[in-house]
């Protein structure tokens, strides 16, 4: 096994050094079924019971309005100044959740509670009854319950007291806090076809998915509509047993194909190579230019007899030293590679840092020597 040089920081997906045949994966791991998905829910609510860590007067005006609307609906008509309601024991929050595709009324969901205004902490608060709506503005669940933030906000109090904070305080969850009131209305038993959506569209993978389905249910059972969609007709023997048919399809093994791609992150120096990356014969020379500026402050102290007289004064002088170093570089000939292991070996032979490697890969792509797509993130 060839060991990568220390400091290269090269991350390789697929096979690390030697080109290995692609392992078969299940269809359920690379795709999903059209119409079978989660639905986003959202709602506006109030968290009460806070220990003076809720919304303040400035920035929490809509919290006051929400409190008045809630109290009016409960039959409490207030005749006081609304500003007196905001006691910092209440906070406005957005409540979000995901509705599973086949969830039925009565089941519970976890909900995420996030502060909207300037509340310091939701610790110890209780979420009041909050309707959760989907994009069609219909209510699918209602949420209520104690908020868990997984941390705390504490202090000694007083103007000079210290404060201790653990974890994020302005967001939390209500485990099982939402009760489903309405399902998503997915009736798969009436389906006549099933569509497989590939998470990474690829024509070759789509054809292999079609062939895998045809191999079990007969030729012509499935058709690749495009690089990301494979549509399969439900056989007559599976009518009324669509769940069993889908379970059979998602358990089939296929060999996933992917284009040659290099992904680099210059901020972190991360380089990820795909399995099919290749390099044509080329010569590489890379050198570093380093400029170092050192700033030193010196104190000029006059002799003792002059101190306190007009003849001497203590001054601070600045000594700036600039140093320029250029690293010697050598021309390295890289032979044509046919495996991913040879690519890694060739790049390590140049002996550069991860961030230098990003510049080399960009130059190789511009010269046409890198046989892969280069994505900079």
| Chain segment 151-207, per-residue pLDDT in tens | 666 654 445 555 666 667 889 999 999 999 998 888 888 899 999 999 999 999 999
- Residue 16 is predicted with a pLDDT of 32
Its domain, for residue 270, covers: 10-20+260-288+328-376
Give tens-digit pLDDT for 124-153: 999 999 999 999 999 999 999 999 987 666
Per the structure, how many domains does the chain have? 4
DSSP label at 148?
B
Whether residue 319 is found in the same domain as residue 357: no
Same domain? For 97 and 118 the reply is yes
Residue 3 inside a domain? The answer is no
In terms of domains, do 163 and 30 share one?
Answer: no
Going by C-alpha positions, the residue among 310, 211, 194 that lies closest to residue 254 is 211
The C-alpha atoms of residue 176 and residue 45 are separated, in whole angstroms, by: 16
Kindly state whether residues 30 and 47 are assigned to the same domain. no
Q: Are residues 45 and 162 in the same domain?
A: yes
Residue 309 has what pLDDT? 54
Among 126, 160, 180, give the residue marking a domain's end: 180
Q: 164 lies in a domain?
A: yes
User: What is the spatial distance between Cα 42 and Cα 95, in angstroms, rounded to a whole number?
Assistant: 6
Is 105 part of a structural domain of the chain? Answer: yes
CATH of the domain at 237: 3.90.76.10
- The alpha-carbon radius of gyration of the chain (Å, integer) is 32
Q: In this structure, is residue 71 part of a structural domain?
A: yes
Which residue ranges in the chain fall short of pLDDT 70?
Answer: 1-23, 59-60, 82-84, 86, 151-167, 286-312, 316-331, 338, 350, 352
Q: Give the per-residue pLDDT at 87.
A: 77
Q: Within this chain, do residues 193 and 170 fall inside the same structural domain, yes or no?
A: no
The per-residue pLDDT for 12 is 36
> What is residue 194's predicted lDDT score, i.e. its pLDDT?
94
44 and 167 together in one domain: yes
pLDDT of residue 367: 84
Domain shared by 246 and 226, yes or no: yes
Is 90 in the same domain as 173?
yes
Residues 316 and 237 in one domain: no
Residues 86 and 145 in one domain: yes
If DSSP states are collapsed to H, E and C, what string results for 241-281? CHHHHHHHHHCCEEECCCCCEEEEECCCCEEEECCCCEECC
């Amino acid at each position: 096994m060839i060991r990568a040089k220390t400091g290269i920081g090269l991350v390789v997906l697929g096979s690390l050094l030697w080109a290995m045949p692609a392992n078969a994966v299940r269809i359920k791991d690379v795709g999903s079924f059209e119409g079978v998905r989660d639905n986003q829910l959202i709602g506006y609510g109030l968290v009460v019971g806070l220990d003076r860590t809720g919304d303040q007067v400035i920035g929490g005006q809509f919290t006051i309005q929400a409190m008045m609307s809630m109290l009016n609906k409960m039959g409490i008509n207030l005749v006081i100044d609304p500003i007196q309601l905001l006691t910092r024991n209440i906070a406005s929050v957005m409540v979000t959740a995901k509705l599973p595709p086949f969830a039925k009324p009565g089941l519970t969901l976890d909900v995420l509670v996030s502060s909207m205004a300037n509340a310091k902490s939701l610790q110890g608060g209780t979420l009041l009854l909050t309707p959760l709506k989907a994009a069609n503005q219909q209510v699918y669940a209602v949420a209520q319950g104690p908020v868990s933030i997984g941390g705390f906000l504490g202090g000694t109090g007083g103007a000079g007291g210290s404060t201790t904070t653990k974890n994020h305080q302005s967001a939390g969850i209500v485990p099982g806090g939402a009760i489903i009131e309405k399902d998503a209305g997915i009736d798969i038993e009436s389906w006549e076809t099933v569509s497989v959506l590939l998470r990474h569209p690829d024509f070759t993978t789509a054809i292999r998915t079609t062939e895998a389905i045809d191999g079990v249910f007969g030729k012509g059972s499935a058709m690749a509509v495009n690089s990301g969609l494979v549509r399969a007709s439900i056989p007559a023997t599976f009518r009324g047993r669509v769940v069993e048919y889908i379970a059979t399809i998602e358990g089939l093994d296929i060999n996933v194909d992917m284009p040659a791609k290099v992904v680099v992150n210059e901020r972190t120096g991360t380089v990820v190579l795909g399995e099919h990356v290749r390099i044509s014969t080329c010569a590489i020379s890379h050198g570093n230019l380093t400029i170092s500026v050192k700033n030193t402050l010196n104190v000029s102290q006059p002799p003792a007899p002059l101190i306190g007289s007009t003849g001497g004064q203590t001054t601070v002088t600045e000594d700036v030293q600039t140093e320029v170093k250029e690293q010697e570089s050598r021309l390295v000939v890289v032979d044509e590679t046919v495996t991913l292991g040879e690519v890694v070996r060739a790049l390590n032979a140049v002996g550069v840092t991860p961030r230098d490697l990003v510049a080399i890969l960009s130059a190789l792509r511009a010269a046409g020597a890198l046989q892969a797509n280069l994505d900079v993130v």
